[in-house]
Amino acid sequence: MTVSARNQAPEGEKIVVENVLVTGGAGYIGSHTCKELASNGLVPVSLDNLVYGHREFVQWGPFVQGDIADGRLLDALFAEHRFAAVIHFAAFAYVGESVQDPGKYYRNNVAGTISLLEAMRRGGCSDIIFSSTCATYGMPDADLIGEETRQEPINPYGRGKLMVETILRDYQAAYGIRHGILRYFNAAGADPDGAIGERHDPETHLVPLAIRAALGQAGPLTIFGSDYPTPDGTAIRDYIHVTDLADAHVRALTHLRRERASVVCNLGTGRGSSVQEVIETVAAIAGREVPVLRGARRPGDPPRLVSANGRAREVLGWVPQRSAIATIVADAWNWHSREG
C-alpha cells in the first residue's frame, strides 16, 4: 500500500510528490512511523527540535532540526519538499507537567499546531494526521471507550489535544484541510528489529519502568494504587504496540487521500491489562522478579481506560499485529536490555 500524491503541480507539469512532513519524527511514535512510511515507499522528512527527540532515531529520511513555531522555516520546507501530507507528532506529553506549567503546553501543543496549519495553508498542503490521546476522554465510566464517548479532559495536556481537534474541524470547514485524528491509548513496545525504541527522560511509563526495575537499572517500581475497583486492585490500561500505531498512521494517510474525507479513530486493542498483569508479564519474559513498592494512587489516574476499536478496523482495515501484552513486553525487553 503506498500513497502518492500530486501536490499543486503547475498546469502540464507532472510531478509525483511522495514527501511527508513528520513533526516530532525523532520521537518515540514519530520515528517508528517514519520507518513504516519508508517501507511503504514514502519519504518522511523529520522536523524535530530535539527537546525530547533523539537524532539517532531518524534513520529513514532527511532530518531538519527546528520548531513548528518557526513559520519561515516551515515555508522553506514546504517550498522545497512540496509535502503530500503532514503527520504531526511534535508535542509535550507529560500530564503532570501540564498541570504545573499549562502555558508551556498550550504554547507548544496548541499555538504550535496553529503555526503548522497556517504553513500548510500557505504551502497548499491539505492533509494532516494528528496525534490525539485517550486523555481527551478524561475519566469515562464506559467499559469500552468509543469515539463518541464524551470528551471531558481533566488536565491541560488533554484539554490542549481536544482544542486542536476542534481547531482541525474548523480548518476543514473553512479551508478544506482534511484531518485524521488518531486517539492513542497506551503506546508501548519497540521496533521488532531493535533499531529504535522507547527512550524518555524522565521516564514515567509503566512498561519501561518495570523493565528497568527488573534489569536493576532503576529502583523498584512503585505501583500507583492497589485499591482500584478492578479484579486485582490495580489500574487497567489498553497497551498498544508502537509498530501497530505506526501502521495505523499510514492507513489513515491512505484513507485521507483515497476517500478525500477526514477520519477520527481510537487506536487501542479493545483489551485491558492491569498494572499487576504487566509486572507479571515482565517478570516472565525477564526470567526474574520485578522489585515493586506499593504506593498511593497517582492523582488523575482513572481505574480503567480501554478502547473500542471497531472504527479503526472498519474504516482503516487496521488489525493490531503485535499488541498482545507478551509481545509488547518482549519487544520492549529486547530494546531496553540492549540500551543498557
Ligand X SMILES: O=c1ccn([C@@H]2O[C@H](COP(=O)(O)OP(=O)(O)O[C@H]3O[C@H](CO)[C@H](O)[C@H](O)[C@H]3O)[C@@H](O)[C@H]2O)c(=O)[nH]1
- Quick one: which segment of 11-19, 199-207, 280-288, 328-336 binds ligand X (CB under 6 A)? 199-207
42, 47, 87, 93: residue in contact with ligand X (rule CB under 6 A):
93
Is 43 a binder of ligand X (CB under 6 A)? no
Q: Are 226 and 296 in contact (CB under 8 A)?
A: no
Residues 265-284 that bind ligand X (CB under 6 A): 275
What phi and psi values does residue 21 have, to the nearest 5 degrees? -80, 125
CB of 29 to ligand X, least distance (A): 10
Is 294 a residue that touches ligand X (CB under 6 A)? no
Q: Identify the DSSP state of 110.
A: I
Q: For ligand X, what does the binding mask look like between residues 103 and 132, x meaning CB under 6 A?
A: ------------------------------
Catalytically active residues, by annotation: 157
Secondary structure of residue 239 in the 3-state scheme: strand
- Smallest gap from Cβ 218 to ligand X, in A, equals 10
How many Å apart are CA 278 and CA 152, to the nearest integer? 27
CB of 232 to ligand X, least distance (A): 12
The C-alpha cell that represents 121 in the structure block: 495553508
DSSP string, 38-73: HHTT-EEEEEE--SS--GGG--SS-EEE--TT-HHH
Binding mask 297-336 for ligand X (x = CB under 6 A): -x--x-----------------------------------
Q: Rounded CA gap, 60 and 46, in Å?
A: 9
Q: Which candidate, 237, 222, 250, places its Cα nearest to that of 328? A: 237
Cβ neighbours for 217, distance < 8 A, ≥ 6 positions apart? 336, 340
Binding mask of the shown chain, residues 170 to 189, with x at each position contacting ligand X by CB under 6 A? ----------------x---
Q: How far is the CB of 126 from ligand X (least distance, A)?
A: 27
CB of 78 to ligand X, least distance (A): 29
**CA terminus-to-terminus distance, the chain:** 36
Instruction: Give me 31's grid cell.
Output: 520515528
Site string for ligand X, 217-256 (x = CB under 6 A): ----xxxx----------x-x-------------------
Cell matching residue 84 = 503530500
Residues in contact with ligand X by the rule CB under 6 A: 93, 95, 133, 135, 186, 204-206, 209, 221-224, 235, 237, 275, 298, 301
